[in-house]
Amino acid sequence: MSQTTENTLATPVGITLERYIMRKQSEFAFATGELSQLLRDIALAGKIVNRDVNRAGLSRITGAMGEKNVQGEHQQKLDVEANIRFVRALTNGGEACAVLSEEDEEIIQTGNVNGKYVVAIDPLDGSSNIDVNVSIGTIFSIYRRVSRIGGPARKEDFLQGGRAQIAAGYVLYGSSTMLVYTTGHGVAGFTYENSLGEFFLSHPDIRIPRQGPVFSCNEGNWFDYPEFVRAFLTTCKERRLTARYVGSLVADYHRNLFTGGIYLYPPTAAQPGGKLRLLYECYPLAYLIEQAGGVAVTGADLVLDVPPTADLHQRAPLFVGSADLVEELRCKATN
Ligand code: AHG
Ligand code: MN
Ligand code: MN
């Protein structure tokens, strides 16, 4: 049988995430099996959360918990559920000695004292969109620990700075579910095949266009925005750029990654230091955008060069996306 006949009769399903990780393992500086296991754990939790998100309207898992998280924000049931799923998967996988989650004030020690990695995570991003059936996501960031192997993880493991990340990515629960990640050698995207229960490589080398037609921000905050942000947005409108804002960072970021554009979460009166969290929102998405040829700044500074303070849940302004657009904004921030 010729290859063409064979492919017509049975269209190839492509490369699974698992096989892709194995193929790429020579690019990874550390023990490859360990990273594979971590990514596998994240993918597994992503599949489970995907299932729960899809059923959310049916399984009475939408709605508020009636409690606030460490950020003082109202937790949704899915925030809590996703947190449990990811922490459990990383605990059972054995490679992560600790997890820092948006939903928990303190570091979670997994008990894997010999694990060499720590994972910072926003288990459910875009929680205000859960109840209205709009795309949401998960963001993750991985470091090699600096604390002693065999003992508990320490805060310092999470406070190494953005450039110390060894892998980062996100899961988007959208019209299809995708896992997009980097280990510092470009960005690859995988689409979830529901019936097979696997992520397949769908976007082998994602590059963000240098320019783009989209600006994404919550314009309701316009009167709080610093002058340089308003000046930049005014030029976007003069050039008739398109406004697109889902209100789930992962979804807005993912769209702009493909179309080109800029996402902005500037400081506001309510959040003078910015709203988004440095360790599990800004750093991972900044690392990934640089790997895709884009730029991420907090204003004048590159996000990855901003040193963390001692606060694990610190916030930062975020401007991220196409290189030319972000540099244009950065110029305005500097002048
Ligand atoms: P989270 O749901 O993890 O708390 O994150 C919400 C974030 C982010 O996803 C989104 O871009 C932003 O908050 C939206 O904020 P506004 O509603 O203030 O625009
Ligand atoms: Mn978030
Ligand atoms: Mn969240």
202 is in an annotated binding site: no
| Residue 258: exposure state from Cβ atoms within 10 A (0-12, 13-18, ≥19) | middle
The residue nearest atom 17 of ligand 1, judged by CA position, is 247
328 marked as part of a ligand binding site:
no
Neighbours of ion ligand 3 (CB under 5 A): 102, 122, 124-125
Identify whether residues 283 and 231 lie together within a single domain.
yes
How crowded is the C-beta side of 3, counted as CA atoms within 13 Å?
1
3 belongs to a structural domain: no
209 within a domain of the structure (yes/no)? no
* Residue 133 maps to a domain: yes
Which structural domain, as residue segments, surrounds residue 36? 12-203
pLDDT value of position 25: 74
Determine what percent of the chain is predicted with pLDDT higher than 90: 80
Indicate if 72 and 164 belong to the same structural domain: yes
Q: Is 247 in the pocket of ligand 1 (CB under 6 A)?
A: yes
Is residue 128 part of an annotated ligand binding site? yes
- In a domain, residue 323? The reply is yes
Is residue 2 a part of any domain in this protein?
A: no
**Are 199 and 219 contained in the same domain?**
no
Q: Is residue 291 part of a domain?
A: yes
Alpha helix locations (H) across 24-140? Answer: 32-55, 77-93
Q: Return the ligand 1 atom nearest residue 73 CA.
A: 4
125 Cβ inside 6 Å of ligand 1: yes
Specify the 3-state DSSP secondary structure of 107: coil
- Does any domain span residue 115? yes
* 271 and 172 in a common domain: no
Q: Which ligand is nearest to the CA of 248?
A: 1
CB atoms within 10 A of CB 107: 20
Atom of ligand 1 nearest to the CA of 71: 4
Same domain, 96 and 43: yes
Same domain, 72 and 120: yes
Whether residues 223 and 290 share a domain: the answer is yes
Q: Whose CA is nearest to atom 15 of ligand 1?
A: 247
Instruction: Assess if residue 7 is contained within a domain.
Output: no
Q: What is the model's pLDDT at position 30? A: 67
Q: Is there a single domain that holds both residue 183 and residue 268? A: no
Number of domains, the chain? 2
Q: Same structural domain for residues 196 and 218?
A: no
Pair of tokens at residue 248: 């789930």
Residue finishing a domain among 146, 177, 203: 203
pLDDT tens string 299-324: 999 999 999 999 999 999 999 999 99
Based on the domain organization, do 178 and 227 belong to the same domain? no
Ligand 1 midpoint to CA 275 (Å): 8
Query: What per-residue confidence (pLDDT) applies to 302?
Result: 98
Burial 143-163 (b: 16+ CB within 10 A, else e): bbbebeeeeebbeebbbbebe
Q: Which atom of ligand 1 is nearest to the CA of 275?
A: 13
Last residue of a domain, one of 203, 233, 268: 203
User: Residue 29 Cα, ligand 3 centroid: separation in angstroms?
Assistant: 30
Tens digits of residue pLDDT in 163-203: 999 999 999 999 999 999 999 999 999 999 999 999 999 99
Q: Got the DSSP string for 166-214? A: SEEEEEEESSSEEEEEESSS-EEEEEEETTTTEEEEEESS----SS-SE
Kindly give the distance from the C-alpha atom of residue 296 to the centroid of ligand 3, in angstroms, as a whole number: 20
> pLDDT 10s per residue in the chain (335 long)?
787 787 778 877 789 998 998 888 777 666 668 888 999 999 999 999 999 988 877 666 667 777 777 767 777 889 999 999 999 999 999 999 999 999 999 999 999 999 999 999 999 999 889 888 899 999 999 999 999 999 999 999 999 999 999 999 999 999 999 999 999 999 999 999 999 999 999 999 999 999 999 999 999 999 999 999 999 999 999 999 999 999 999 999 999 999 999 999 999 999 999 999 999 999 999 999 999 999 999 999 999 999 999 999 999 999 999 999 999 999 999 97
CATH number, domain with residue 271: 3.40.190.80
Question: Do the strands 198-203 and 214-216 form a parallel or antiparallel pair, or are they unpaired?
Answer: unpaired
Q: What stretch of H or E contains 121?
A: strand 117-125
pTM value? 0.95
Phi, psi of 175 (to 5 degrees): -65, -30
Cα(298) to centroid of ligand 3, in Å? 20
What's 24's domain CATH number? 3.30.540.10
Distance between Cα 156 and ligand 2 center (Å): 22
Looking at the CA of 249, name the nearest ligand: 1
Distance, CA of 171 to CA of 178 (rounded, Å): 6
* Nearest ligand 1 atom to alpha carbon 136: 9
Instruction: State whether the beta carbon of 126 lies less than 6 angstroms from ligand 1.
Output: yes
Closest ligand relative to 277 C-alpha: 2
Q: Are residues 43 and 148 both part of a single domain?
A: yes
Query: Same structural domain for residues 235 and 140?
Result: no
192 is in an annotated binding site: no
Kindly report each contact of residues 52-55 with a partner whose C-beta sits within 8 Å and lies 24 or more positions away, as own/partner. 52/78, 52/81, 52/82, 52/85, 53/78, 53/130, 53/136, 53/173, 54/173
Domain boundary pick from 161, 182, 203: 203
Residue 220 CA: nearest ligand 1 atom is: 19
